[in-house]
Structure 1
Amino acid sequence: MSKEFEIVYEFEVDATPEQVWDAITSGTGGWLWPMEFDGEKRVGPFGSTLTNFDPPHRLTALTEDVGFPTQSLNQIDETIEPRDDGRRAWVRYVHSGIFTDDWDNQYDGARKHNAFYLHTLREYVVHFAGRPVAFATLNGPDASTAADAFGVVGRALGLADDIEQGARVRARGPEGQLLDAVLDFRDPYFIGLRTDSTLIRFFGRNHWGAPVGISVHDFAPDADAKTNELAWQNWLDGTFA
């Protein structure tokens, strides 16, 4: 049965409204994935219509034909206001729409994913705003859909259960490489690692019946998206071999 949903988050961040706006609309893949916004034609990502496009204050993207079997309508609305004479920004993020099936599971996944995405946005604008990025995303094998799959990922990274968010860690990456990183996010569903040049995000989508996923946002001058994709794909496939 179809049912509307609404997810609301509000936060402040140590970045200007212009930096937050650019992060949301530049489409580089610096914190989420590459997306295109055309303010003049009022066209946004995935065929959405920009019903509000007022830089750097208000953005609303409405998609009426989502193309998913469990969703028929999707809208993202973001309001950005200055704080501390424009040195900081306050953001109100509203994700709404209609789920047509599996409502509780879809809502739970969307709510938790949005929280992690917005955390990554804050990490990006504070540490990497405006830097060129090489973006890669990948999914694990079928075995990574198992109920305990995300726990396997944490152990493969060498993260003990008692390591808390905010700690500096030496995580095990591809080919045994040790990554000197900050564990910038950790809960049962997601892990975020931040090095001096990358944001590496791990998605426990097995909790919602999908494979574990990884995205790599690499800001190093010599970064290569394909190299990162292949390296982390081999790591993830080997973890579940």
Structure 2
Amino acid sequence: MSKPFELRWEGDLPGSPLQIWDGITKHGAAWIWDIDYEPRVGGAERGLTSKGGTVTAWEPQRHFRTEARRDDGWHNALDYTLDWTHLSYVHSTVFEPHEYAVQADACIQHTRFYYHSLGEYLRHFAGRAPHYLGLDEVPGSTADVLQRLGVPETAGPGDRIALGTIDYRDGTMVGIRTETELVRVYGREPWGWPVGVGVHAFDGAPDERAWREKVAA
């Protein structure tokens, strides 16, 4: 039987309530990946879950919720409550018992990174059209990928490198901010998964070929 999981995150975000609302509901490509929601209760969700879901709460700049369910009992729900610029987020889902520890830890670590990235987008790029490039199963280890990107082993948040500025480093998760992009390195080795790289570009679509060569050279 599936085991329920709930994750909560909350914090103050930069920008106006409208910018935060739009970041969550319209501009997933700016900080997580391409997701589309129809802006109404009963509207369709596309891109977040494999078979899509449904918007179940839509109160602009106050409350948003999206849910997805399957006949086998699986469900996934994201709930956002905005009090001016303070966001309270709840993620509810289920995991199989044999993979619960791995999935729960991965979800926690990814969520921390995602909402840091939302803050970076709002602080530095709000109002600019986002373009997302996701590179999954990048060859090599996290250390290999970071070396290719010119990130020293000792570099931490605030440090400058050739590519830009390190804005996040927690375990195997590393964020780099350039003048036009947020580059996210998802070191997923702790869970037995390949490294992923996300590029959120704000000055036109990123060059996929160039980025694949950069991270996999």
Which runs of no fewer than 5 residues in structure 2 stay unpaired? Answer: none
How far, CA to CA, are the matches of 1:63 and 1:185 in structure 2?
Answer: 31
* Aligned partner (choices 133, 142, 154) of residue 146 of structure 2: 154
Asked whether 1:213 is paired with 2:196, we answer yes
Where 1:44 maps in the other structure, the secondary structure is strand
TM-score by length of 2: 0.90
How far apart are 1:66 and its partner, in Å? Answer: 9.6
Deviation beyond 6 Å, 4+ runs, structure 1: none
Asked whether 1:169 is paired with 2:161, we answer yes
Is the CA contact 1:66–1:74 (under 8 Å) kept in the aligned structure 2? no
Distance 1:159 1:107, change over 3 A: same
Is the CA contact 1:42–1:53 (under 8 Å) kept in the aligned structure 2? no
User: Which residue does the alignment assign to 1:31?
Assistant: 31
Q: Deviations over 1:78-128 (max 9, x none)?
A: 11111xxxxxx1001111111124000000001100110000000001111
Is the CA contact 2:157–2:169 (under 8 Å) kept in the aligned structure 1? yes
User: Which residue does the alignment assign to 1:175?
Assistant: none
Q: Deviations over 1:1-25 (max 9, x none)?
A: 4111111111102211111100111
1:188-199 alignment to 2 at 5 Å?
A: 188-199=171-182
Is the CA contact 1:33–1:135 (under 8 Å) kept in the aligned structure 2? yes
How far, CA to CA, are the matches of 1:8 and 1:22 in structure 2?
Answer: 20
Which runs of no fewer than 5 residues in structure 1 stay unpaired? Answer: 83-88, 171-178
Is the CA contact 1:139–1:233 (under 8 Å) kept in the aligned structure 2? no
Where 1:169 maps in the other structure, the secondary structure is coil
1:47-196 alignment to 2 at 5 Å?
A: 47-65=52-70, 72-82=74-84, 89-101=85-97, 102-141=99-138, 143-144=139-140, 149-170=141-162, 179=163, 181-196=164-179
User: Which residue does the alignment assign to 2:183?
Assistant: 200
TM-score by length of 1: 0.81
Is the CA contact 2:145–2:216 (under 8 Å) kept in the aligned structure 1? no
Larger radius of gyration: 1
Q: Deviations over 1:178-227 (max 9, x none)?
A: x2x1100012221111111111111112222221111111112xx233x2
Q: How many residues align?
A: 211
How far apart are 1:73 and its partner, in Å? Answer: 1.4
How far, CA to CA, are the matches of 2:121 and 2:71 in structure 1?
Answer: 27
User: Which residue does the alignment assign to 1:14?
Assistant: 14
